[in-house]
Amino acid sequence: MKKGKKIWTIVAVCAFAGAVICILFMLGDYLSKKGAEKEYEAIAKMNEDDEKERQEIPENPSEETKKELEIPVDFASLKEMNEDIYAWITIPGTQIDYPIVQSAEDNAYYLNHTAEKKESVNGAIFTENYNAKDFNDYITVLYGHNMRDGSMFAGLHQYEDRKYLEEHDELIIYMPDAILKYKIFAAYLTDNRHVLKYYNCGQDADSRKAFVRDILWQRTMESSVDSDAPVNEESKILTLSTCHSTGKNHRYLVQAYLEEKIE
């Protein structure tokens, strides 16, 4: 065999092998996404009888009519599945309706593991262990991937439309013993700073003042911010964080303040 022909044969074999590897990688990625999709469908089905109730904004009962609090999430079954599941997020009128998890040991674990602890690029909706699980921190950050199929926190990008924010400004967190009602007041593209570390986890008033100031001062074309929102350094602010098409140096944030806690 001539030298030139041999080289081209090697190149062709390498190209073919590379194509096969690429196809296998894409297939694995596809199967991983489909597996996660079926898993979250199963979790949703487990709680589907309560979905309509979760999508309704709960009213705080008066003292005269107060009764045992009804939580429209089967936390007992969810905890049997995974002890790390501790809450549930719902934004009425959207596809965001997921369990919330937190790993005590590894803050990056749920970047590539589902709520059932299965390895997947979809990951889960999670908080880091810098935050308590009772949502009593002044600054709480929830993370979720911006999936191309619209799942997880991809729906947050709908808030790039200011009208959408006005029409979908309610957010609810369900816990086993309480319901937290939030009002969404800000959505914008920002840098990839670690919010909790940058603002000292909101542990002092000055950090919290800077946090609120930086939110209200957002003035970019992509921002939707209610500058009249009743927020200050004493507000409990929930930040939903996802990635953006501009790349790893940016994050898209949707933020809400706690209006009411029903126990």
**Residue 226: alpha-carbon gap to chain centroid:** 21
- Output the pLDDT for position 10: 61
Number of CB atoms found within 10 A of residue 151's CB: 19
What is the spatial distance between Cα 143 and Cα 168, in angstroms, rounded to a whole number? Answer: 19
Amino acid (1-letter code) at residue 74: D
pLDDT tens digits, the chain, 263 residues: what are they?
555 566 666 655 555 655 545 454 445 544 544 555 666 777 777 676 666 667 776 676 655 445 578 999 999 999 999 999 999 999 999 999 999 999 999 999 999 999 999 999 999 999 999 999 999 999 999 999 999 999 999 999 999 999 999 999 999 999 999 999 999 999 999 999 999 999 999 999 999 999 999 999 998 877 999 999 999 999 999 999 999 988 889 999 999 999 999 99
Q: Can you read off the two tokens belonging to residue 103? A: 């790993």
- Output the pLDDT for position 52: 67
Q: Can you read off the two tokens belonging to residue 173? A: 């967190």
The pairing of strands 139-143 and 224-225 is unpaired
The pairing of strands 85-90 and 97-101 is antiparallel
Closest to 238 in 3D by CA, of 90, 94, 117? 90
- Determine phi and psi for 112, rounding to 5 degrees: -135, 25
What is the spatial distance between Cα 42 and Cα 36, in angstroms, rounded to a whole number? Answer: 10
- Output the pLDDT for position 38: 67
What is the spatial distance between Cα 170 and Cα 222, in angstroms, rounded to a whole number? Answer: 20
Residue 185 burial class via C-beta count within 10 angstroms: exposed 0-12, middle 13-18, buried 19 and up = buried
- Output the pLDDT for position 54: 72
- Output the pLDDT for position 32: 46
Q: Can you read off the two tokens belonging to residue 184? A: 């969404």
Question: What pTM did the predictor assign?
Answer: 0.82
Instruction: Determine which helix (DSSP H) or strand (DSSP E) holds 258, and give its type and residue range.
Output: strand 250-262
Local structure of 86: helix, strand or coil: strand
Number of CB atoms found within 10 A of residue 198's CB: 14
Residue 84's contacts (CB-CB under 8 Å, 6 or more residues apart) are 101, 102, 103, 104, 110, 115, 117
87 within 8 A of 59, measured Cβ to Cβ: no
